[in-house]
Amino acid sequence: MRSPLPLPPLIASGDFTPDGHGIHAFDPTTNRAPTLAGFEGVRVLPEFLTRDEAAALVTRLRGATFVPSQSGREKCHYGPRANFNRRRVNTDRFDGLPGYAFEIETRLRDLAAATFAPADPVHEALATFVATDAFVLRYAPARSSNLDFHVDDEFAYGELILDLSLESDATLTFYRGRPAGEVDDPPDVTPACVRVPIPARSLALVFGEARHAWEHALLAPDVSGPRTSITLRTISPALAGRPEGREILERAKRRIEPD
């Protein structure tokens, strides 16, 4: 099992307590970081599922085939295989998406229309979204499960990233200004960290600046109990215009029931 990568200097001590200066708290009622006006692109829908719905979904997922993944996680993936370095995708083993992927997307569209103001930029991000990739991860404190800081690949994936949390509460950490990070920040960017609570049964939406200009991670100390997450992505506009992208979109319409 690979150990977590070193934390950025601002939080290297392991103290993630928001101080309103370098480390900022996220307010899920306003979907903003009150002490960092420039942070934009995260929306959290609490209680996206009821307790019974979440329990039923966890039961469905037990029938899936999970394999060990990096940093103490277990994974189950439905989607095209991507070679990020070579900018290639392979659809040979992509037969479609589980039924719950369609259910999550349908409910999100209904809730977004009722929850977010018409001028909210999340609507523009959602307008270009159709699930083409479902990634299920299982975390466990005993394995020090974590997700290292990263930016979701921009060749393979489009504007909006969805993450559904099950079983236990956690926190997503966004970071900007990390030396040697994946984001090519200008040298004058002041390091900043935003801590976003993601309660069990909530759905997090990441788009815009938070998706492209900030790295995000799930730190091992923030995994308080067994946690399952379902991440849904769509292909990028550039990939959608290629023959393999059109094939992905067609295959993504198929509903499979692996459980």
pLDDT one-digit tens code per residue, 46-80:
999 999 999 999 999 988 889 998 788 999 999 99
Least confident segment among 2-16, 82-96, 112-126, 175-189: 175-189
Distance from C-alpha of 169 to C-alpha of 183, rounded to nearest angstrom: 27
Q: 225-257 pLDDT, tens per residue?
A: 999 999 999 999 999 999 999 999 999 999 997
Residue 220 has phi, psi (to 5 degrees) of -55, -40
21 pairs with which residues across the strands?
Answer: none
Q: Sheet holding 203-206: strands in order across?
A: 42-45, 203-206, 157-166, 227-235, 133-139, 74-78, 67-68
203 pairs with which residues across the strands?
Answer: 45, 164
What pTM was estimated for this model as a whole? 0.94
Q: Is it the case that residue 180 has pLDDT exceeding 80?
A: no
Q: 129-176 pLDDT, tens per residue?
A: 999 999 999 999 989 899 999 999 999 999 999 999 999 999 999 999
Distance from C-alpha of 89 to C-alpha of 130, rounded to nearest angstrom: 17
Q: Which domains does the chain have, with CATH numbers?
A: 22-179+188-250 (2.60.120.590)
Predicted local confidence at residue 71, as pLDDT: 85
Predicted local confidence at residue 4, as pLDDT: 62
Q: 205-222 pLDDT, tens per residue?
A: 999 999 999 999 999 999
The band of 258, judged by pLDDT with boundaries at 50, 70 and 90, is: low
Rounded mean pLDDT of 5-34? Answer: 93
Distance set, CA 36 to CA 18, 128, 193, 236, 240 (Å): 11, 28, 10, 29, 35
Distance set, CA 222 to CA 45, 86, 114, 219, 245 (Å): 19, 34, 31, 5, 36
